[in-house]
Amino acid sequence: MQQSAEQKIAVYPGSFDPVTNGHLDIIERGLKLFDKLIVTIMFNPSKKSLFTVEERLELLEKSLEKFSNIEIDSFSGLLVDYAAKQKARAILRGMRAISDFEYEFQMALMNRRLNREIQTVFLITGTQWIFTSSSIIKEAARFGGNISSMVPPAVNEKLKKKLSTFY
């Protein structure tokens, strides 16, 4: 099979507040489908985040340092515009449960209407991460729960430090 000269690029957007092992699962599997992933923090000023965008970028860099074909970025605006600017063919999205489907489906249809050249690719999260979300992890950590098996080591340490200043 002949290799195409055009690199297959996908954008994997999220708030990553913080990045979890479920996110890493989607990233690792996405790298089997694409030559390059751009993992990007979607900046939403109306959403209250525990970590700043700069902290989340740093945590992503530490958590993804073993990968050479990943770019880490942040943006504000329309996702399809960002993807087109990055010459991405696809938007990669992870789904944990059926409850994610309706929202993700609506977003994929809107993105498709805005730019028919960019596809949305859904990956179902690995079964061990189905009930894992950044919100649930933050809540467990806030009350002293052991979340070390759910997040990369750098995130675990940063969460402990960050939450110790609140309580």
Instruction: List active site positions.
Output: 23, 47, 96, 134
The total number of residues written for the chain in this structure = 167
What is the spatial order of strands in the sheet that 119-124 belongs to? 70-75, 36-42, 9-14, 90-95, 119-124
Q: Which amino acid is at 107?
A: M
Pair type for strands 70-75 and 90-95: unpaired
**Three-state DSSP class for residue 130:** coil
Cis link prior to 18 (omega < 30° from 0)? yes
Q: Which amino acid is at 99?
A: S
| Runs of H (alpha helix) within the chain | 21-30, 53-63, 79-85, 98-114, 134-142, 153-164
